[in-house]
Amino acid sequence: MQKRILGKSDLDISVLGLGSWAIGGNIGDWGWGEQSIQDSINTIHAALDNGINWIDTAPAYGLGNSERVIAKALKQSSHRPYIFTKCGFRWNEGESELLSDLSSDSIREEIELSLARLNVDCIDLYQIHKPNQDHLLEQAWETLSRLKKEGKVRHIGVSNFSVAQLERVNSITPITSLQPPYSLINREIEQDVLPWCLNNQVGTIHHSAMSHGLLTGTWDHHRLHHLDAQDWRRKSAQFQEPAFSQRIKFVDFLKELADKKQCTVAQLSIAWTLAHPATTGTIIGARTSLQLKELLPAAEVILSSDELKQIDNFRHS
């Protein structure tokens, strides 16, 4: 699989990375429903066997469960991928409510817990999960900078930041990477965020490239009606009307284009994110090795300038 250097770091990452939110399992309001641990382990092994060399996780995914499952899977594998995790969300014991905390003391507690759950001595990329406590961004970033100097993390990055927030922390210590949401449905970062990253040599690893499943090409009103009661997408605006029907119409157009290229809508959608010059890699989330197998060919799909223009024209029609 093709690789690209992440920002100014020495991390030579595959263009596709494995996301682990779903394999964290059910955590009440922000899970994806029940998940088999063995399916998760099999998915991780399949990803590594097929050239993916980084896994993105977070303590919030399964309230620590995602990190524990990754450690278990790696214990059974000869592969040693880069591990990317995050900080900024905490929870009370026995409760699934996630609370923002970007204080220095909290982050120092979090890093120790993540290192223990992942069973590693150093994390390859440590990221601020969300800038929910704007007044603490500088304090949080200074803490991550110190953790890097102490050898607990190799590189530091952020997730879901605006340009203004990126500039604030980058003036303290250079940012290795940004992890923003980016998909054919959500293109807001094209206006200013991606150009800023490109100009400042900040790597980007995109999340939500499938728009939480809408761009898989497998959704219709029947499936929406039977969505798992524990699936957080029931609360998402994208899965409410009239947005849902509008998205399905767009996906139908993408199916026609994908059929001509002999690929799936999901593969085309991921390949589209990789085509942007600011993109380093894109996260793919899979709950089973079969789902993963269906997404991996996206790394080989190349969109022509004419095809990119067709997509833009439909979007603006």
Residues designated catalytic:
61
Helices and strands in the chain: count of H runs, count of E runs: 11, 12
Q: Which long-range contacts (CB under 8 A, 24 or more apart) does 257-263 make?
A: 257/307, 257/310, 257/311, 258/217, 261/301, 261/307, 263/297, 263/298, 263/301
Q: Write the CA distances from 213 to 186, 207, 282, integer angstroms.
A: 13, 12, 15
Q: Are 263 and 303 in contact (CB under 8 A)?
A: no
φ/ψ of residue 217, rounded to 5:
80, 15
Nearest to 194 by CA among 182, 211, 184, 185: 182
